Amino acid sequence: MYKSLIVVITLLLASGHAGAQMAADGRVGSGSKAHEWNVPTPEKLKALTLPGDVEAGRQDYQAYCQACHLPNAAGNPDGSIPRLAGQHTTVIIKQLADIRSGLRANPTMYPFAGKLADAQALADVAAYLGTLCVPRDSAQYQGPDAARLIAYGKVLYDKQCVQCHQPNGDGVKEKLYPLIAGQHYQYLLRQMLEIRNGQRGNSHPDMIRAIAGYNDAQLLAIAAYQATLSTQARSWASTPRFCEAS
């Protein structure tokens, strides 16, 4: 448990320093905009209305995204790179547009997201990712206290998170709530820590309020439970959206 927290905190310190530098360079929003959930930038609004071209999205993904997110968009189990496979198109578009506009500080992504040509390219990449199945082999918490922690995480998830992210972790496409089932637990934990600590600008206000009072151990429990959703809900996860590890 503590080893996992050390890894995540190290990542946070690195990203926090980089984010501060980007703010100094004028590339991250300031004032109230820096903590707005969904700034309606022209590019985002346009991309959300465009039909995505899956083949064009595949080509852009392979050119700009695949090296880090991997050919099957599985990301990195250590939590440094999220799984994108099967994510809602609306969520992909929002996050890419927010990174490109500087609303979401993500220095690693700036040079790659910036290479996408326009709103149509955002819609295309999102459409392609939406065709990929979500592997069930997410990196799950493996500590000796896993059973206890996951059970506690379920209690906390059912109390606060389930209203938006749904019992199965599917989120809500129309509301831009992300699919979290099948995501690596360390990535989920890192995002919650950043949101709670005010380090992620485009966070939903309900999310900020929901986890404001949780300590690191409680957030770890929630993340540990969330990462099991694609394997626990077998009857739901047997749909074509989920697949075995490739």
Please indicate whether residue 236 or residue 229 has the higher confidence score (pLDDT).
229
Above 70 in pLDDT, residue 167?
Answer: yes
pLDDT confidence of residue 10:
39
Instruction: State yes or no: pLDDT of 200 exceeds 70.
Output: yes
pLDDT confidence of residue 105: 87
Q: Which domains does the chain have, with CATH numbers?
A: 2-133 (1.10.760.10), 146-243 (1.10.760.10)
Query: Looking at residue 101, what is its pLDDT?
Result: 92
pLDDT at 13: 36
Q: In angstroms, rounded to a whole number, what is the distance separating the alpha carbons of residues 70 and 81?
A: 10
- Rounded to whole angstroms, how far apart are CA atoms 137 and 199? 28
- Model confidence at 23: pLDDT above 50: no
Q: Say which residues have a Cβ less than 8 Å from residue 112's Cβ, sequence separation at least 6.
A: 64, 65, 68
Check residue 184 and give its pLDDT. 95
Q: What is the pLDDT of residue 99?
A: 94
Q: Considering only the C-alpha atoms of the chain, give the largest distance between any 2 of them, rounded to a whole number of Å.
A: 49
Cβ atoms of 227 and 141 within 8 Å: the answer is: yes
- pLDDT reading at 234 higher than 90: no
| pLDDT for the residue 42 | 96
Among 52, 124, 53, 133, residue whose Cα is nearest residue 85: 133
CA angle 127, 246, 191 (to 5 degrees): 60
Range in 77-81, 185-189, 226-230, 231-235 with the lowest mean pLDDT: 231-235
Is 22 a residue whose pLDDT tops 80? no
- Are the C-beta atoms of 135 and 87 separated by less than 8 Å? no
Report residue 114's pLDDT band, with 50, 70 and 90 as the boundaries.
very high
Which of 86 and 27 is assigned the larger pLDDT? Answer: 86
Segment 22-28 mean pLDDT: 31
Contacts of 65 (CB under 8 A, 6+ apart): 73, 84, 112, 125
Mean pLDDT of 153-179: 95
User: What is the per-residue pLDDT for 6?
Assistant: 39
Q: Is the pLDDT reported for residue 89 higher than 60?
A: yes
Average pLDDT over residues 212-233: 89
In sequence order, the β-bridge partners of residue 81 are: 76
Mean pLDDT of 114-142: 92
Average pLDDT for the chain: 84
